[in-house]
Structure 1
Amino acid sequence: MNAKISFRGVSCRFDVAGTGFQALDRVDLDIGDREFVTVVGPSGCGKSTLLNIAAGLVEPTAGQVLVDERPVAGPGPDRGVIFQQYALFPWLTVRQNVEFGLRLAKVGRAERRRRAEYFIGLVGLGEFADALPKTLSGGMRQRCAVARAYAVNPSILLMDEPFGALDALTRVQLQDQLLRTWRAEQRTVMFITHDVDEAVYLAGRVVVMAAWPGRIHQTIDVDLPTPRTEEVRLSPQFAAIRNRVWHAVYHQRPEEGLPK
């Protein structure tokens, strides 16, 4: 597997109320080109910190992250980031939001329109291209955020619990939409979640983290048929992998996974 993202001995320490807090401790992880990896773990295990370091939004205190074998030195157009909050401009329409990054990149008007229309259609918002975000449901706003991230043509999508604020039915629908979009575009995806079912359903590989300090506890391959369907979600094979991930997340002994 050719590594698209490589975490090499990544540690991160924050100052919290005058006390040092070790968020991550010597994390080593490779994510392959076009691989869909989910990262799950108990609260406070450093999942979001790990993603923010890959995005170039947080600097590690030790170690480094490589993208295409080049050290990450800050945010870049090769990495699209999608957070739990929609972060759309409320005064811009769906189309204008999707075109925003392209406008900053000085992409010509016709090409901006072409790319925006393609990705708006890909996420199922074609009928809402001229709508303002306030008129959209939460799920539709998040689909707009996905289209905006794809439009600037990043090779990597970094997604930090993007469906965490949605109701259960909308969440399942967006999981299916995201997988359809990923199959069509085949970008590398690092997806942070606290939901074990979501982690298993989306991924080809689940990375389970342990906390205090944050570190890789276990990686679990998800050997399930694609495309993922309701039948897959209800299958005994899904249940077996889900139970394995659940146990890895919630039944860790404090000493497990500590660096030697």
Structure 2
Amino acid sequence: MTAKISFREVVKTYPMKDTTFTALDRVSLDVADQEFVTVVGPSGCGKSTLLNMAAGLAEPTAGEVLVDGVPVTGPGPDRGVIFQQYALFPWLTVRGNVEFGLKLTGLPAEERRRRAEQAIELVGLSDFADALPKTLSGGMRQRCAIARAYAVDPQVLLMDEPFGALDALTRVQMQDQLLRTWSRMRRTVMFITHDVDEAVYLAGRVVVMASRPGRVHTIVDVDLPYPRTEEMRFSPEFGRIRNAVWHSVYHQAPAA
């Protein structure tokens, strides 16, 4: 497998009053091109810190983060980032929000419109292209945020608990929508979540983090075919994988 994202002995520390807090300690991980990887772990294990480094929003204290073999030195159009909060401009329509990132690239208006319409259709919001965010449900707002990320055609999608604020039914629907979109576009996805079922349902591999200091505890392969279906959630194989991840997350030995 060719690594799209690589973490090499990554360390992240923060100065405190009388000491230094180690958020991440020598984390090494490869995410392959077009792979869908989820990252789970107890609170404070450094999941979001790891994603922010891949996004170029934070720098490692030691080690390095690479995309396509090139060290990450800051944000870039090759990486789309989606957070739990939708961060939409309330005065812009769905189309306006999706086009906003494209304007920054200097694309002509006609090409911006074409790519925005394509991304909006991809996430199933064509009927709401002229709607303002305040008129949309939480799930629809998050779909708009995903469309905005897809519109700039990133090779990597970095998602930090994007469905965490949604109700249970909408969350499941959004998982299916995301997988349908991913199956068509096949971008590399690194998806942070605290939900074990979500982690297993979406991913080809689940990375389980340990905390204090944050480090890779184990990696669980999800040997379930795509497309994922509702029936799979209730299958013995899904239950076996889920239990393995659950045990790794919540029954970790303390750090040495």
TM-score by length of 2: 0.98
The one-letter code sitting in structure 2 at the alignment partner of 1:76 is: G
Write the letter of the residue equivalent to 1:145: A
Tell me, in whole angstroms, the C-alpha distance in 2 between the residues paired with 1:39 and 1:17: 30
Q: Does 1:227 align with 2:230?
A: no
Structure 2: tracts of 5 or more residues without a match: none
Counterparts of 1:67-216 in structure 2 under 5 Å? 67-216=67-216
Distance in 1 between the 2:47 and 2:169 partners?
25
Equivalences, count = 256
Deviations 1:105-163, CA, capped at 9 Å, x for gaps: 01111111111111111111111000000111110000000000000010000000000
What is the RMSD of the two structures over their aligned residues, measured on CA atoms?
0.9
Identity of aligned residues (%): 76
SS in structure 2 opposite 1:144? helix
Is contact 1:36–1:188 with CA below 8 Å preserved after alignment? Answer: yes
Structure 1 segment 12-51 matched on structure 2, within 5 A: 12-17=12-17, 19-51=19-51
Q: 1:252 to 1:128 in 2, by over 3 A?
A: same
Q: Distance in 1 between matches of 2:195 and 2:185?
A: 25
Counterpart of 2:175 in structure 1: which amino acid?
A: Q
Q: How far apart are 1:19 and its partner, in Å?
A: 3.8
Q: Would you identify which runs of 4 or more consecutive aligned residues in structure 1 move more than 6 Å?
A: none
Structure 2 Cα separation of the partners of residues 52 and 97 of structure 1 = 22
Letter in 2 for 1:238: F
TM-score by length of 1: 0.97
In 2: Cα distance, 1:233 partner to 1:119 partner: 28
Is there any run of 5+ residues in structure 1 with no aligned partner, and where?
none
Asked if the contact 1:225–1:232 (Cα under 8 Å) also holds between the matched residues in 2, the reply is no
Counterpart amino acid of residue 72 in structure 2: V
What letter is aligned with 1:23?
A
Per-residue CA shift, 1:163-188, capped at 9, x if unaligned?
00000000000000000000000000
